[in-house]
Amino acid sequence: MKILIVGAGGIGGYFGARLIQTGADVTYLLREKRQKLIQEKGLCIETPKGNFVVHPQTIRTEELQPIYDLIILAPKAYDLANSLQSIAKASSRGVILPFLNGLTHLQTLDQEFGKPRVMGGVAHIGAMITESGSIKQLTDLNVLTVGHRSDAHRELAQKFNQICDKAEFKNIYSDNIDQALWDKWVFLATLAGMTTVTRGNVGQITASPYGKTLTEHMYQECCSIAKAYQFPIIDSGQTKALELLTQKDSSFSASMLRDLRLHHQTEHDHVLGELIRLGDQFAVKSDLLKLAYTHLNVEEKTRENDS
């Protein structure tokens, strides 16, 4: 299987490097500066259990050909259009596997390529690009969930899962990938909403007098929206999610908080805004989500005015 990964950021960089360690045929589509760095130094991965370096195949947009069986997309949600433009020379064949937050990207990809060519994927990892260009895994969490959304690519999805079985991360094959996407969206919206509106991590929020209760309430708002769309979060899933979202002394926070602190663009409209809009269609109450979204929207407008 020939795999093209668009970019070498936190998700694509980490999981792609782990796949390369197994001998998988992985090529990274990179911009000139990033390509030059990786060609000179390799792709460096820093993990809590030790560091490693791989020397991947790389390619530029103008060199692409339609030779890939699987094209992995893992940009920020607001960069999806640019990513699709970058793969134009390769995207006439193969299956697209997106690892983006929210669900609206699937509608875009289905319209562009047709549902038979769009797989479903969920990545759980805290990772970032360091100033030196390395990928730094921030916690031990590294789970990849994939699944077919059409019988047309079921065999390819299962084959990719078998490749992932050999890699040093946890992988899950889901026969209901849409539910897995909702599970993550509900969790992430709560994590991002609470950590950005308070500008604190899970431990700090939980240690405050009302933090745990507010987190639970926001999570239930998100769960109510999922339930309205016939994707209810099962009780055991809710229990596990709330344990992570309210864990004492936890340094866990959303990458959106890091982006906010660095005055970078955030995915708040895709993670929070779109969920709120879906909830409004069913008159689902989401006051805490709307407070978090309003805060981020004001911050974005302030950043734009100051730039």
Along the 307 residues of the chain, how does pLDDT read in single tens digits?
Answer: 999 999 999 999 999 999 999 999 999 999 999 999 999 999 999 999 999 999 999 999 999 999 999 999 999 999 999 999 999 999 999 999 999 999 999 999 999 999 999 999 999 999 999 999 999 999 899 999 999 999 999 999 999 999 999 999 999 999 999 999 999 999 999 999 999 999 999 999 999 999 999 999 999 999 999 999 999 999 999 999 999 999 999 999 999 999 999 999 999 999 999 999 999 999 999 999 999 999 999 999 998 888 7
* Domain extent listing, the chain: 2-175, 179-306
Q: Which CATH architecture has domain 2-175?
A: 3-Layer(aba) Sandwich (3.40)
pLDDT at 19: 98
pLDDT at 307: 76
Q: H/E element holding 123? A: strand 120-129
Using CA atoms, how far apart are residues 157 and 119, in angstroms rounded to an integer?
7
Using CA atoms, how far apart are residues 276 and 7, in angstroms rounded to an integer?
30
Q: State how far the alpha carbon of 289 is from the alpha carbons of 195, 225, 248, 272, in Å.
A: 12, 11, 22, 7
- Single-letter amino acid, residue 82: N
- Three-class SS state of 136: strand
pLDDT at 68: 98
Residue 5 C-alpha from the chain's centroid: 14
The dihedral region occupied by 100, where left means phi > 0, alpha psi between -120 and 50, and beta the remainder, is: beta
Q: Which CATH architecture has domain 179-306?
A: Orthogonal Bundle (1.10)
Strand partners, 213: none
Q: H/E element holding 126? A: strand 120-129
- Three-class SS state of 34: helix
- Three-class SS state of 67: coil
pTM recorded for the entire structure: 0.94
CB half-sphere exposure, 100, CA atoms < 13 A? 28
pLDDT at 196: 98
